[in-house]
Amino acid sequence: MHEDFETTSIATAPIRRVVIAGGGTAGWMAAAALSKVLGKTLEITLVESEEIGTVGVGEATIPSLATFHRLLEIDEREFLSATQGTIKLGISFENWRTAQHRYIHSFGTTGKDHWTAGFQHFWLKGRERGLAGSYDDYCIELQAALQDRFAHLPNHRMNYAYHLDASYYARFLRQLAERHGCRRVEGKIVEVTTDPASGFIGALRLERGEVIEGDLFVDCTGFRALLIGQTLGVGFEDWSHWLLNDRAIATQTTAVRDAVPYTRAIAEPWGWQWRIPLQHRVGNGVVYSSKYVADDEAKQRFLASVEGEVIKDPWPVRFRPGRREQCWAKNCVALGLAGSFIEPLESTTIHLIQRGITRLMQSFPAVISQVGIDEYNRQLNDELQHVRDFVVLHYHATERRDSPYWEYVANMPLPATLQHRIDLFRETGTVFHVPNELFAENSWIQVMMGQGIVPQQRHRTPDLMGDAELSHFLGSIKATVDRSVEQLPSHMDYLRRYSPATPPARPAAPVAG
């Protein structure tokens, strides 16, 4: 007996030609990964115009970028030298909890967990008994950041990320992509043609008349979202009721001291400033809400606070926080700013580009299927929600009430998913990690305690330990951290030996991410 089965395939032609619209970090990350991994089976073309500037999605990254580089067999020394890179062990949050308070969200693990309870419960017990120091004392990465130290430790015992020049990074990736067969086409896109029957994108027509046809298109056109938004009409979910900031101003300054191994995020009455130290300069910017401060005032106060000589005229960026309702629609995948933008506070933009690329390659279809598209979007939407909640946490959990901006964020209604995490930690001291979620338990703990959320109770397991045993347990961890950090050289002394900067000829102008 023959039975017809319904198919979820929405295209009949196999994917042989991939067209990437737009360069910058998103475009060249996609080109480098696709050409390195699938270049022997695909024809990959990247279209970009030198006339169209890029926002530049980031100078600060998170540790997942090192994993991405290992997959692409990128040499770390070569990468750091080419991008003027420095090491990032975490973020220094200044004036967030109160106007004079500072804490560091590090990339490390703190202490040692028991299978029944996280380390924070043992630390809470130690604080009750007067046996524990600061929670910061039990993390190598955090103590190394405070002391401006770094070196590679055996068995990858140090978790770290990078500060980099985003424009130099795009050029570095372009060289890698072109070595693996990616073709770059210079030109401005003036028309995106679609198939009348399926609605699929068929080709990009350039200003000089050239037509670039493809089977799968990757939209890396930034906030314009030329393919996913303007052509396919995919809507945008606005998150500005939780994330107030909608403007940024960026500039570059000369370095007045050695680079520290962390990003600085300095809260203002209406937003916050970033300072990102590279080997050759410092990236500076201010992110703010236009509802609470005028552009001219934000720029004036920002420029009055920067250190060193301004070496590039400040440039403005306008944005709307949120995400596309679908980052993959028909035969178009949106990466970077075309698909979503949360804000640069936790340096997640490059990570989300990377995750979109990795997820695409892991599910790369022979023929485009709706069920595959749906799963891609489901996973990405879950991840975006987790990142959004983590960033919103920094604003809502604060003791500041010294301006209308901070008054609003402290009292605004939260996403139910975030409210649950806060309530759970405040009432029980417990955190949890969702599979494939970016931020681990210790990140949530560091930020919640750093922002002033104190658990009201803790787990019972630490009660099995007497004072002597608990003191030894905590003391041995701290001693190990202290010994490890004491052996580390200064961050910049190490980098000058390991990967001294070799800048390209032209200057670059990225924005923090």
> What's the angle, vertex CA 418, arms to CA 412 and CA 424, rounded to 5?
115
Both tokens of 457, joined, read: 């109770």
Please identify which of the residues 88, 125, 299, 330 carries the catalytic annotation.
Answer: 88
CA 170 to chain centre: 16
Closest to 262 in 3D by CA, of 137, 168, 161, 343:
161
- Extended beta strands in 64-101, E state: 86-88, 90-94
CB-based contact 144:88 (threshold 8 Å): no
Phi and psi torsions of 364, nearest 5°: -60, 120
CB-based contact 123:465 (threshold 8 Å): no
CB-based contact 253:309 (threshold 8 Å): yes
Tell me the C-alpha distance between 201 and 192, whole Å: 7
- Extended beta strands in 128-169, E state: 161-163
Maximum Cα–Cα distance across the chain: 80
Closest to 48 in 3D by CA, of 163, 167, 164:
167
| Radius of gyration from C-alpha coordinates of the chain | 24
What sign has the CA pseudo-torsion 288, 292, 444, 353? Answer: negative
Tell me the C-alpha distance between 50 and 54, whole Å: 9
- Extended beta strands in 138-213, E state: 161-163, 183-186, 189-194, 201-206, 211-213
Query: Any idea how long the chain is?
Result: 513
Closest to 336 in 3D by CA, of 27, 18, 19:
27
Tell me the C-alpha distance between 430 and 380, whole Å: 26
Catalytic status, residue 125: no
Tell me the C-alpha distance between 365 and 381, whole Å: 20
Tell me the C-alpha distance between 440 and 433, whole Å: 6
The structure tokens 């979109």 sit at 356
Annotated catalytic residues are: 88
